Chains A and B, each alone.
Chain A
Amino acid sequence: MTDRKRFEEAEGKYYDALDDGDVQDLEFTTVSGEPVDPLYGPEDTADLDYLDDLGFPGQYPYTRGVYPTMYRGRLWTMRQFAGFGTARDTNERYHYLLEHGQTGISVAFDMPTIMGYDSDHGRSEGEVGRCGVAIDSLRDMDILFEGIDLSRITTSMTINAPASILLAFYLCAGEKKGTPFDRMGGTIQNDILKEYIAQKSWIFPPEPSMRIITDILAFCSDHVPRWNTISISGYHIREAGSTAAQELAFTLADGFAYVEAGIAAGLDVDVFAPRLSFFFNAHLDFFEEIAKYRAARRIWAKRMKEKYGARDERSLLLRFHTQTAGCTLTAQQPENNIVRTAFQAMSAVLGGTQSLHTNSMDETLALPSEKAVMIALRTQQMIACETGVINSADPLAGSYFMEARTREMEEKAEVYFRRIEELGGVVKAIEQGFFQKEIGRAAYEYQKAVEAGKKIIVGLNAFGIEGEQIDIPLLKIDPQVETHQRESVRKVREARDNDKAARELERLRAAAAGNDNLMPVILDCARCYCTEGEIIGELKKIFGEYREPLFL
């Protein structure tokens, strides 16, 4: 008998056994609802071309990783998202995390800062310091980074609509410490498109927002070359309820939109593209997530090369940060979240992430306590030091299952890209509510599946504990924070040269109404202690405010 015949005979036997065997009454789908076969085999990789489809790590199309050495050369950055209360409170938490082995800083801002309001604005009442740190001016930024050498650590700031301002505050804080702009490294999230789609912390309408972004791209290319100017995000899209394929497709579509905006603004793609980075979610379905990351690298590399004509290798690299999925955590039996986070973190590492945040178990109830965040950090350290997964790059490559799923992800994304093009591009699709409706529908269907028991959540619709009492220490925000911060910002306004501040704000308004790059003017405003709210206030006068669209 030939090998082929032996194979087919064995295969036939296998499938017969499957048909005759038991099948549990479950849905064998990914968490996104994609059906998964009981087995993948050689036919799934028969067409796979190693060099064209996978490539070596650090080589086009980068499916196996963006760097040749991957984790043997350098581990991913352990970067825990943190921020609460005043800059002083958060500075303490940063020192704690750094002492315990974190290797990068990630700033969480409070809602007023995110939405461009000073702590003493009417809209800020009840919100100051509650879900992040309150930053009103350069003074707060100085305190936030006290005792931290900005030339030796990179900082990621999760800030979008007012990103230009917080970047300015950071750069000025570094400047005051004697670190020049070109020695500072970090990231601003600055991904306004996904705000309209998912996170919804917008201020201005899309057009002026894109202008601010291209100003930042241009400025950083010239003056802050180590800075990642956009962290093109899928995390929030996923948290809003999308499927994995939607997260992948919508994120990359946003990325392409930024590339197109940069090119349209006259920038050379190879100048700004190397500093675009990404931010993905690490959700529950282990293999689906790994396939997603690999597909993302391949799609980005191909399009940047073939469609946008990027020639510099660094423009083709999809570098990304990952956060484990907050929306999968349960309030019930919160310790289980430690385990969920570990699985999710593992998938991010096997997917080749450059940077990782692991959630704390208590985050369905409050911001992370010290104890909980330490466990989260240790999770990353255990993966790095104990499990051996860092020894070899892209260890799942060549797996029938993994390569089939990676290709499927890519194909699904391509379908979405075509749809978005038909609608006229990302901005037009946003206007028509395309993303919002897709995500809303996926979210609702997921909820229905959970409520029907089709998707099991341990502790919630299965294996729950009757009359459970949740007894873990929770972080509490001192209500005095708000009073203190209001006083603080008032003092800053009193102490500064108010004539100068007023003049700089005037210059800013003129720049916004014209075509000059806004960053230098914003930096000048920052240096004379204009507050974030004041700067945003001026920009609102020229750019207007975005109105929430009506997509239910």
Chain B
Amino acid sequence: MARMIRVLVAKPGLDGHDRGAKVVANALKDAGMEIIYTGLHQTPEMIAESAVQEDVDIIGLSILSGAHMTMFPRVMELLKEKGADHIVVFGGGIIPAEDVEKLESMGVARIFGPGTNTGDIAAFIRNRFSDPE
């Protein structure tokens, strides 16, 4: 039986546009996952700490403010410091292709651009954590 997947969805930084984050959180819930939604104005420290306490499998960051090249690496750095870099990081927002490449080469598992079908996000997460047996 597939185990329960726990996802943390967060808005790092000062950006207040949470339509996408909430739509994704609801869609993933409808796909049968447990979503810890930590809300707006999260610092990378808050996100990493929450992810550890909640023992999530994966973190989704939504950034529309252009601060992605600071936020993603910082979150991943903190996860490493806390010995939690097994936690996968993905995200979405307003992120140009050039930066998507850079982030993915830094270890961000996927960046989903505008217009992404939420079913694709759910499938991505499921595939990532499907049991080998």
- Do A and B interact directly, with beta carbons closer than 8 Å? yes
The answer to whether residues A460 and B115 also contact, given A126-B71, A127-B67 and a CB cut-off of 8 A, is yes
State whether A443 touches B40 (Cβ < 8 A): no
Contact with A along B96-119 (1 / 0, CB 8 A): 111000000000000001110111
Note all chain B residues with C-beta closer than 8 A to A30. Answer: none
A458 to chain B, nearest CB (A): 11
State whether A447 touches B67 (Cβ < 8 A): no
State whether B94 touches A127 (Cβ < 8 A): no
State whether A125 touches B18 (Cβ < 8 A): no
Note all chain A residues with C-beta closer than 8 A to B115. Answer: 330-332, 364, 457, 460
Interface residues of B in 3-54 (CB under 8 A from A): 13-19, 22-23, 25-27, 37, 39-41, 43
State whether B114 touches A111 (Cβ < 8 A): no
**Does B127 touch A at the CB level, under 8 Å?**
no
What is the CA–CA distance of A470 and B99 in the complex, to the nearest angstrom?
13
Chain A binding surface SS class? loop
A545 to chain B, nearest CB (A): 10
The answer to whether residues A241 and B14 also contact, given A125-B70, A330-B114 and a CB cut-off of 8 A, is no
Note all chain B residues with C-beta closer than 8 A to A115. Answer: 14, 41
Q: Which of A112, A239, A366 contacts B14 (CB 8 A)?
A: A112
Q: Which residue of B lies closest to A479 (CB)?
A: B69
State whether B16 touches A200 (Cβ < 8 A): yes
Interface residues of A in 73-112 (CB under 8 A from B): 111-112
What is the CA–CA distance of A492 and B93 in the complex, to the nearest angstrom?
34
A548 to chain B, nearest CB (A): 5
State whether B14 touches A331 (Cβ < 8 A): no
State whether A200 touches B70 (Cβ < 8 A): no
State whether A552 touches B66 (Cβ < 8 A): no
**Does B65 touch A at the CB level, under 8 Å?**
yes
Note all chain B residues with C-beta closer than 8 A to A123. Answer: 13-14, 43
Contact with B along A108-140 (1 / 0, CB 8 A): 000110110100000111110011000000000
Interface size for A (C-beta < 8 A) is 43
Q: Which of A130, A240, A552 contacts B37 (CB 8 A)?
A: A552
Note all chain A residues with C-beta closer than 8 A to B114. Answer: 329-331, 364
What is the CA–CA distance of A201 and B13 in the complex, to the nearest angstrom?
12
State whether A447 touches B27 (Cβ < 8 A): yes
The answer to whether residues A126 and B67 also contact, given A239-B19, A451-B119 and a CB cut-off of 8 A, is yes
What is the CA–CA distance of A331 and B66 in the complex, to the nearest angstrom?
16
State whether B16 touches A443 (Cβ < 8 A): no
Interface residues of A in 190-214 (CB under 8 A from B): 195, 199-202
Contact with B along A324-335 (1 / 0, CB 8 A): 000101111000
B15 to chain A, nearest CB (A): 6
The answer to whether residues A241 and B17 also contact, given A123-B43, A366-B96 and a CB cut-off of 8 A, is no
Q: Which of B23, B65, B94, B117 contacts A444 (CB 8 A)?
A: B23
State whether B13 touches A111 (Cβ < 8 A): yes
Nearest first, the 7 A-B pairs at minimum CB distance are: A126-B70, A200-B16, A130-B66, A111-B14, A126-B67, A331-B114, A460-B115
Q: Interface on B for A, CB 8 Å cutoff?
A: 13-19, 22-23, 25-27, 37, 39-41, 43, 64-67, 69-71, 74, 94-98, 113-115, 117-119
Q: Interface on A for B, CB 8 Å cutoff?
A: 111-112, 114-115, 117, 123-127, 130-131, 195, 199-202, 239-241, 327, 329-332, 364-367, 440, 443-444, 447, 451, 457, 460-461, 470, 474, 477, 479, 548, 552
